[in-house]
Amino acid sequence: MHDIIGGPGQTAVRVVKGQGPPHPSMSGSYFGDTVVMDDLLMEGPSLTSKAVGRAQGTYVLAAMGVPVLAVSVTVVITEGPYNGSTLVIACRPRRHLPGGKGDRGGRRDGTAPAGYRAQWRRTGEDVSAVYMVLELDVHATVPDGAAPAPGRRHGWGLSADS
């Protein structure tokens, strides 16, 4: 997922400047900041990777003391056997350092609700201070008959487990 928060090709825009206090660990950010995104989903982290969809939604700075975002995003698939499909994800990934592991959807004990699991992390391949590359690892269960052969893994990261 390529998230560009400024400059040419911007894909994410802060639409609400939070009215809360300045965030102690995120310079220039305020509790309540709200960003709307229409990010490109790529097959890999490279700028020349094939586009496979869009991530459209919002993220909000939702904690006063720690860097936590509340994310609501619709993943729109535009390539492969699931072309035209959407997946809605609501999660609370913590902001983390490049290469660090983000939160996974589900409970603290590592289990996830039936249906899907999502994990976010920065790849460490950020292009600039306003161009971040994020890895979104989603495992979803699809209805019988809607997926390729069980266990088949697509190059762009969607594993079909029915």
Domain boundaries, the chain: 2-161
Exposure of 45 by Cβ count < 10 A (0-12 exposed, 13-18 middle, 19+ buried)?
middle
Q: Considering the entire predicted model, what is its pTM?
A: 0.69
Identify the pLDDT of residue 93: 67
The tens digit of pLDDT for each residue in 66-96 reads 778 888 999 999 998 889 989 888 877 655 4
| Cβ–Cβ under 8 Å, residues 56 and 89 | no
**Residue 133: band (very low, low, confident or very high) from pLDDT cuts 50, 70, 90:** confident
Q: Which tokens hold the place of 17?
A: 């400047």
Beta-strand ranges (E) seen in 27-97 are 34-42, 51-61, 69-77, 86-91
C-beta of residue 93 within 8 angstroms of C-beta of residue 55: no
Question: Which one is predicted more confidently, 40 or 97?
Answer: 40
Mean pLDDT, the chain, rounded, equals 73
Whether 157 shows a pLDDT value over 60: the answer reads no
pLDDT confidence of residue 148: 53
Rounded CA gap, 6 and 10, in Å? 5
User: What pLDDT does residue 121 have?
Assistant: 59
